[in-house]
């Protein structure tokens, strides 16, 4: 028999998505919930473990700006609370004595120069005085302490170290009678009124 070719015409009608109707019982069994689409914040609670640590922005580690001997400790145990500017330790340093003597001598020479002295000598003496002043600043001596040295006119063989901020002493690496080198760590102070919580949150969380 010969195959016959037939043309079928699809009736034009509005296409619709297939629908599925479930009873309330079937919806519960399928765990299907339907709700209106809306924009809102989604909060996900995740349990994280962590540790309390110091606030690095409120932590100061103090090192010796000169070599010398610790002759006195005004704060001698961990956990001590200090205010900003409180004396911490008294250090003896031959380097400090020399630097003070240079400043005092340069001050005396500059004062003794009279108006008839050549200008380049005055300029040279002024530069020497300025260098001696800056040297003391680099050794950790404050402007007020330098002014007291100049007024006294006699070098001091000890320098008092002061707390750069208020807080709790959390590290104390020195004891009375110890010799320290330039740059050696002396102690650390932390402000415990602010702390950090360090947690590990992974991408899956």
> Quick count: other Cβ atoms within 10 Å of Cβ 65?
20
**DSSP H helices in 13-156:** 24-30, 94-112, 119-138, 143-152
CA distances from 74 to 28, 48, 81, 165 (A): 75, 42, 12, 16
* Cβ neighbourhood burial of 23 (10 Å; 0-12, 13-18, 19+): exposed
Per-residue pLDDT of the chain (205 residues; tens, 9 = 90+): 445 554 445 555 555 778 878 888 888 888 888 788 999 998 888 888 999 999 999 998 888 888 889 999 998 889 999 998 899 888 898 888 888 888 888 877 777 766 545 666 777 777 777 888 888 888 777 788 888 888 888 887 788 888 888 899 999 888 888 999 888 888 899 999 999 999 988 887 7
pTM value surpassing 0.75:
no
Half-sphere exposure of 86 (CA within 13 A, CB side): 15
């Amino acid at each position: 028999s010969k195959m016959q070719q037939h043309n079928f015409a699809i009736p034009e009608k509005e296409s619709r998505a297939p629908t599925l109707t479930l009873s309330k019982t079937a919806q519960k069994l399928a765990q299907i919930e339907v709700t209106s689409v809306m924009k809102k914040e989604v909060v996900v609670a995740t349990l994280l473990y962590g540790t309390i640590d110091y606030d690095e922005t409120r932590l100061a580690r103090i090192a010796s700006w000169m070599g010398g001997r610790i002759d006195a400790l005004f704060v001698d145990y961990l956990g001590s609370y200090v205010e900003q500017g409180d004396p911490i330790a008294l250090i003896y340093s031959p380097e400090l004595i020399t630097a003070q003597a240079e400043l005092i001598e340069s001050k005396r020479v500059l004062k003794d120069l009279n108006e008839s002295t050549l200008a380049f000598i005055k300029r040279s003496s002024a530069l020497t005085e300025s260098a001696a002043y800056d040297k003391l600043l680099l050794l950790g001596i404050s402007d007020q302490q330098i002014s007291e040295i100049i007024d006294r006119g006699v070098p001091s063989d000890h320098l008092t170290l002061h707390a750069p901020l208020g807080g709790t002493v959390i590290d104390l690496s020195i004891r009375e009678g110890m010799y320290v080198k330039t740059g050696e760590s002396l102690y650390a102070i932390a402000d415990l009124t602010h702390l950090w919580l360090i947690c590990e949150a992974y991408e899956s969380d």
